[in-house]
Structure 1
């Protein structure tokens, strides 16, 4: 069962300013496809964001705009399960950018690998992407959209495998999770329920 991992980098503090997108297609055994593109956000870059990801305005001068890249991007998302590390950020970028350009939302479900990591590896000092990656000895260039999407996908693969699940839906049931959803002009956030406690028997 394939799932889609995504990551955005933004030009400034505005959520509708994506300047790069990384997309990874993966399944329970690993990565099967990847896509990366710079995006011209049609607005200025902030110095803070440049320090984070290293992308400057000159880098995106010939890059496609979001509406130009959206048909291809949408084909990855529609009717699929999408993941992101700190999904609240990436899904907000997606929704705010679609709103800004008056584009139709895709119908999709999604999960957050930050929340999954908290459930599966609760003893880590934190659950930032670089911390979880280091725990699994995964090296990468942090804040590069494709590399971040790739690591998020590998983190989910590790979580599925460590729980002995055959596929993603089995893993979701084992972890007592519920997918979030995005639909036309609306969304529902993912939910991870508390672990069920085993009843103690007293004699």
Structure 2
């Protein structure tokens, strides 16, 4: 079972301003491949976002633009199961950037490790990436795209182990979750069914 973990950092509040991408290819046992690149977003940086990830406009002057890095990313993502922590953010960055540059969408399934973590470890105070990393004893540099992607991959592996699942489909069945999907200019988000409440029997 192979899956691909991704993480974007953005230059500003616009979702089509990625300035870094981290990609990790893994299976249930180990990391198999990694890719990291700064991206020149061809627009300005906000101080708020730079304070979060530390990337400045001068850092990306000689970095490739998104259209230049997209062939490599497409190869990693197309026809794969892709995960991200708070996937709604990363997938919207991907879709809006593809729209902005008029590039074709990949055809891929995706999952959110934040939502998965809520099912597997419901007792945690929150399910932020740094909270989960601390819970599992994982040291990392938060808001570095490659390190965040590595942690998301490790979280999914630990979730599979917690449910004693060796592949995604039986794991998702136990979690009562479905994969999301991205396809040409469209998407379907992952779904999580609400746990069914047991009906109380009344005795008279």
- 1:58-91 deviations in Å (ceiling 9; x for gaps): 1111110000000000011111110000000000
- Alpha-carbon distance between aligned partners in 2 of 1:198 and 1:33, rounded to the nearest angstrom: 44
Shift of residue 199 of structure 1?
7.2
Query: RMSD over aligned Cα, in angstroms?
Result: 1.4
Shift of residue 117 of structure 1?
0.5
Compared with structure 1, are the counterparts of its residues 103 and 57 closer, same or farther at alpha carbon in structure 2 (3 Å cutoff)? same
Could you say what secondary structure the match of 2:119 adopts?
A: helix
Aligned match of 2:193:
193
Aligned match of 2:152:
152
Shift of residue 30 of structure 1?
2.3
- Alpha-carbon distance between aligned partners in 2 of 1:32 and 1:158, rounded to the nearest angstrom: 17
Aligned match of 1:45:
45
Unaligned segments of structure 2, at least 5 residues: none
Compared with structure 1, are the counterparts of its residues 201 and 165 closer, same or farther at alpha carbon in structure 2 (3 Å cutoff)? farther
Shift of residue 174 of structure 1?
1.6
Q: Deviating runs (4+, > 2 A) in structure 1?
A: 194-203
Aligned match of 1:87:
87
Q: For structure 1, which segment, 24-33 or 42-51, has the greater mean C-alpha deviation from structure 2 after superposition?
A: 24-33
- Alpha-carbon distance between aligned partners in 1 of 2:173 and 2:200, rounded to the nearest angstrom: 23
Q: What is the TM-score of this pair, normalised by structure 2?
A: 0.96
**Does residue 100 of structure 1 match 2:74?**
no
Alignment of 1:1-203 (within 5 A): 1-196=1-196
Q: What is the TM-score of this pair, normalised by structure 1?
A: 0.96
Unaligned segments of structure 1, at least 5 residues: none
Shift of residue 196 of structure 1?
4.5
Shift of residue 28 of structure 1?
1.0
Shift of residue 194 of structure 1?
2.2
Shift of residue 202 of structure 1?
9.0
Shift of residue 152 of structure 1?
0.3
- 1:30-71 deviations in Å (ceiling 9; x for gaps): 211111000000001010000000001111111100000000
Q: For structure 1, which segment, 30-39 or 2-11, has the greater mean C-alpha deviation from structure 2 after superposition?
A: 30-39
- Alpha-carbon distance between aligned partners in 1 of 2:114 and 2:126, rounded to the nearest angstrom: 9
